[in-house]
């Protein structure tokens, strides 16, 4: 066979293989990196979704927990993974947005190292108090805090985390002084507020959901532009302070360079799974507000807007990157 014929045969064979990736993907196990520990709310949700997708694809999806460093450890692992369509990252707000404004330097670049795959949903924050605190509304809480400066302790998962930044923003907007008590993680602060060692806490609706349902904590306000299903009787912060809205979220991204075929397939199937009635009900139970995965382009636009929002918050409360 002469050189020209060989070259033509090569390109014919190559062209014949192009659609195979889309049809065959995934042809081996998929890895989903997660920045939270086993048993956390994101971990439970990730495993619920991947279980459905795994059965649909006929391939296992390995959830790899890499907690630590305010999501830095997991994000770095995912960012450095081969962009071959077999590693994805279950991201939350801190890893892709907030860390940019709280760290002097990161070992990964959230805007360059990842491409969007699909949205999972929003997780509003809830300002909740110990039921023994004599307040039932945000206005009453602010009045009580002003009358008792630095007598209210507010538990968060850390000063430079979403709940910590939002706590400081609430205090500044309300013109109050309270004691910000940062914890190493979500649950310790919640449990101390239930026990009365702290009087209030600001956490995601996902983390607080079960405690609110059993009355262990009293919700005062949610950080969302509209009232939240399951917390319909709880006013939003925006109802008192116009335009005040900050929410956490869960989304899927992939290392930059990941084949478009893998991204499109993951996006399409994720959207279908989240719209299954029992899965949708479970997401609501966990305090996740979702309208489906959307498109990768829509998630990209959302992330750009989030950078604007959180950059403003960091500037307003004078966050000093560390």
Residues of the chain with CATH 3.40.190.150: 27-123+247-316
pLDDT confidence of residue 136: 94
Q: Where are the alpha helices (DSSP H) in 107-231?
A: 138-147, 162-174, 187-195, 205-213
pLDDT confidence of residue 110: 96
Q: How distant is the alpha carbon of residue 173 from its chain centre? A: 24
pLDDT confidence of residue 232: 86
Distance from C-alpha of 190 to C-alpha of 212, rounded to nearest angstrom: 11
Given the DSSP bridges, would you call strands 247-255 and 87-92 parallel, antiparallel or unpaired?
Answer: antiparallel
Distance from C-alpha of 201 to C-alpha of 153, rounded to nearest angstrom: 8
Residues of the chain with CATH 3.40.190.10: 124-240
Q: Which CATH architecture has domain 27-123+247-316?
A: 3-Layer(aba) Sandwich (3.40)
pLDDT confidence of residue 182: 95
Cβ burial of 73 (10 Å; 0-12, 13-18, 19+) is middle
Asked if residues 245 and 237 have their Cβ atoms less than 8 Å apart, the reply is yes
Asked if residues 113 and 134 have their Cβ atoms less than 8 Å apart, the reply is no
pLDDT confidence of residue 1: 52
Q: Which residues pair with 127 in a beta bridge?
A: 202, 221
Q: Which residues pair with 32 in a beta bridge?
A: 63, 88
Asked if residues 59 and 26 have their Cβ atoms less than 8 Å apart, the reply is yes
pLDDT confidence of residue 92: 92
pLDDT confidence of residue 221: 95
pLDDT confidence of residue 294: 96
Backbone φ, ψ for residue 254 (5° rounding): -140, 160
Could you report the average pLDDT of every consecutive run of 10 residues in the chain (322 residues)? 50 48 80 94 94 96 94 96 97 94 95 97 94 95 94 93 92 94 92 97 89 95 85 89 86 98 97 94 87 96 94 90 87
pLDDT confidence of residue 268: 97
Cβ burial of 241 (10 Å; 0-12, 13-18, 19+) is middle
Name the 3-class secondary structure at 38.
coil
Distance from C-alpha of 173 to C-alpha of 243, rounded to nearest angstrom: 12
pLDDT confidence of residue 267: 97
CATH class of residue range 124-240: alpha beta
Asked if residues 219 and 237 have their Cβ atoms less than 8 Å apart, the reply is no
Q: Cα–Cα distances in Å, from 175 out to 145, 172, 198? A: 9, 5, 20
pLDDT confidence of residue 23: 54
Distance from C-alpha of 1 to C-alpha of 72, rounded to nearest angstrom: 55
Classify residue 66 by its DSSP letter. Answer: -
Asked if residues 92 and 299 have their Cβ atoms less than 8 Å apart, the reply is no
């Amino acid at each position: 066979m002469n050189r020209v014929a060989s070259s033509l045969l090569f390109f014919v064979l190559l062209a014949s293989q192009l659609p195979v990736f889309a049809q065959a993907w995934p042809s081996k196990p998929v890895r989903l990196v997660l920045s939270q520990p086993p048993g956390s709310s994101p971990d439970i949700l990730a495993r619920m979704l991947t279980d459905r997708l795994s059965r649909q694809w006929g391939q296992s999806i390995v959830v790899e927990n890499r907690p630590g460093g305010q999501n830095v450890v997991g994000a770095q692992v995912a960012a450095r993974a081969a962009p071959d369509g077999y590693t994805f990252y279950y991201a939350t707000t801190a890893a892709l947005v907030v860390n940019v404004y709280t760290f002097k330097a990161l070992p990964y670049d959230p805007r360059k190292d990842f491409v969007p795959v699909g949205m999972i949903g929003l997780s509003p924050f809830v300002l909740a108090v110990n039921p023994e605190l004599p307040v039932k509304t945000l206005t009453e809480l602010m009045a009580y805090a002003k009358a008792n400066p630095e007598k209210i302790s507010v538990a968060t998962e850390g000063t430079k985390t979403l709940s910590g930044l939002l706590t400081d923003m609430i205090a500044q907007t309300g013109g109050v002084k309270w004691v910000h008590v940062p914890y190493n993680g979500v649950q310790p602060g919640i449990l101390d507020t239930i026990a009365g060692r702290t009087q209030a806490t600001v956490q995601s609706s996902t983390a607080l959901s079960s405690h609110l349902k059993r009355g262990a904590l009293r919700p005062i306000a949610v950080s969302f532009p509209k009232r939240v299903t399951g917390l319909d009787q709880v006013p939003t912060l925006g109802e008192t302070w116009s335009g005040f809205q900050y929410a956490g979220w869960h989304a899927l991204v992939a290392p930059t360079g990941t084949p478009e075929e893998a991204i499109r397939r993951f996006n399409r199937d994720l959207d279908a799974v989240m719209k299954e009635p029992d899965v949708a009900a479970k997401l609501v139970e966990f305090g996740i507000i979702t309208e489906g995965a959307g498109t990768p382009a829509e998630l990209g636009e959302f992330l750009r807007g989030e950078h604007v929002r959180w950059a403003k918050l960091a500037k307003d409360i004078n966050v000093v990157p560390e």
